[in-house]
Amino acid sequence: MATDTKLTSKQLFNHLFEACNILRGPINQDEYKNYVTPIIFYKRLCDVYDEETQYALEISGGDYEFANFPENHRFVIPEGCHWNDIRARTENIGGAIVYAINRIERANPHTLYGTFSFFDEANWTDKNKLSDERLKDLIEHMSKVNLGNNSYSSDILGDSYEFLIKKFADLSKKNAGEFYTPRSIVKLMVKILAPKAGETVYDPACGTGGMLIEAIRYIHNDKMVYGKIYGQEKNLANSALAKMNLLLHGAIDFSVSQGDTLRNPLFLNRGSIAKFDCVIANPPFSLDNWGEETFANDIYGRNIWGTPPASNGDYVWIQHMVCSMARNTGRCAVVLPQGVLFRGNKEYNLRKEMVESDKLECIISLANNLFYGATIPACILIFREKKADDKAGKVLMIDASSIYTPKRAQNVLEENDVEQIFTLYSNFRDEKEKAKLITLDDIRKKDYILTVNQYIEREQKPNITYEEAKTNFIKAMEDVFAAEEEFYKLLKEYGYIDE
Tell me what pLDDT residue 352 has: 98
In the predicted model, what is the mean pLDDT of residues 32-39? 88
Predicted confidence (pLDDT) at residue 127 exceeds the cutoff of 70: yes
pTM of the model: 0.82
d(CA 251, CA 228): 11
Query: Higher-confidence residue: 71 or 355?
Result: 355
3-state secondary structure of 381: strand
Predicted confidence (pLDDT) at residue 407 exceeds the cutoff of 60: yes
Please tell me whether residues 132 and 180 are part of one structural domain.
no
Tell me what pLDDT residue 155 has: 65
Tell me what pLDDT residue 177 has: 45
Tell me which residue range forms the domain holding 13.
Answer: 9-172
pLDDT tens by residue, 255-302: 999 999 999 999 999 989 999 999 999 999 999 999 999 998 999 999
The three-point CA angle 186-190-195 to 5° equals: 150
Q: Are strands 360-366 and 394-400 parallel, antiparallel or unpaired?
A: parallel
Tell me what pLDDT residue 374 has: 65
In the predicted model, what is the mean pLDDT of residues 306-330? 97
DSSP sequence for 101-170: HHHHHHH-HHHHTTTTGGGGGS-TT-TTTS-HHHHHHHHHHHHTS--STTTS-HHHHHHHHHHHHHHHHH
Please tell me whether residues 223 and 328 are part of one structural domain.
yes
CATH number for the domain harbouring residue 373: 3.40.50.150
Please tell me whether residues 133 and 223 are part of one structural domain.
no
Q: Would you say residue 1 lies in a domain?
A: no
Please tell me whether residues 344 and 493 are part of one structural domain.
no
Percent of the chain with pLDDT over 90: 62
Tell me what pLDDT residue 409 has: 73
Please tell me whether residues 202 and 263 are part of one structural domain.
yes
pLDDT tens by residue, 228-246: 999 999 988 788 888 888 8
Tell me what pLDDT residue 176 has: 45
Predicted confidence (pLDDT) at residue 75 exceeds the cutoff of 80: yes
Task: Report phi then psi at 342, rounded to 5.
Answer: -145, -10
Measured over the CA atoms of residue 297, residue 332, residue 347 and residue 349, the dihedral's sign is positive
Please tell me whether residues 437 and 467 are part of one structural domain.
no
CATH number for the domain harbouring residue 160: 1.20.1260.30
* Total domains present in the chain: 3
In the predicted model, what is the mean pLDDT of residues 357-383? 90
Query: Per-residue confidence at 160, pLDDT binned at 50, 70, 90?
Result: confident
Tell me what pLDDT residue 376 has: 81
Cα distances (Å, whole numbers) of residue 15 to 18, 105, 170, 245, 480: 5, 26, 18, 18, 44
